């Protein structure tokens, strides 16, 4: 039986240089990551061992480090790079990633892009 289990990382907030305007290049702004990662958790459920699952703490730490050290103009580019890390470095078969830039548009609570990558 095929599993459609998912591991979620929600509300991961990181400060980074993001934006196309000169003033944005001189400050750090908060971006927020929400991810839904397809991952068969049945082996880990049976073994109760971290080695048998996606280490979401390791994923979060890697993304925090990457985002803090990055300097993108567009959230689209940052989202694509984050998705690539999770797929290539952690072996996720598929993910949905929402990258938000709260307050990017005056009068709005949030602006975000949502991408889906992988083959699951």
Question: Do residues 98 and 33 lie in contact, with contact meaning Cβ atoms separated by under 8 Å?
Answer: yes
- Is 1 among the domain residues? no
Decide: pTM greater than 0.75. Answer: yes
Q: Give residue 97's pLDDT.
A: 98
Kindly give the confidence (pLDDT) of every residue in the chain, 120 residues in length, as a single tens digit, with 9 standing for 90 and above: 466 899 999 999 999 999 999 999 999 999 999 999 999 999 999 999 999 999 999 999 999 999 999 999 999 999 999 999 999 999 999 999 999 999 888 888 999 999 999 986
- Please tell me the total count of domains within the chain: 1
42: how many CB neighbours lie within 10 A of its CB? Answer: 13
The reply to whether 101 belongs to the active site is yes
Q: Give the distance from CA 79 to its chain's centroid.
A: 7
* 102 domain-assigned: yes
Domain assignment present for 81:
yes
Q: What is the predicted pLDDT for the residue at 105?
A: 86
Give the residue numbers spanning the domain of 45.
Answer: 6-118
Would residue 14 count as lying in a domain?
yes
Strands 6-18 vs 71-72: parallel, antiparallel or unpaired? parallel
| CATH number of the domain within which 25 lies | 3.30.1130.10
pLDDT at position 1 is 45
pLDDT recorded at residue 120: 64
Q: Is residue 78 part of a domain?
A: yes
**For tokens 């103009």, what's the residue?**
73
């Amino acid at each position: 039986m095929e599993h459609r289990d998912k591991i979620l990382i929600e509300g991961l907030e990181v400060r980074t240089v993001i934006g196309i305007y000169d003033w944005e290049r001189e400050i750090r702004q908060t971006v927020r990551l929400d991810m839904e990662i397809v991952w068969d958790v049945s082996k880990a459920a049976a073994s109760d061992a971290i080695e048998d699952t996606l280490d979401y703490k390791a994923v979060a730490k890697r993304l925090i480090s990457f985002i803090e050290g990055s300097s993108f103009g567009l959230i689209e580019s940052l989202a694509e790079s984050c998705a690539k890390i999770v797929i290539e470095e952690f072996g996720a078969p598929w993910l949905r990633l929402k990258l938000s830039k709260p307050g990017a548009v005056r009068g709005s609570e949030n602006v975000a892009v949502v991408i889906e990558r992988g083959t699951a």
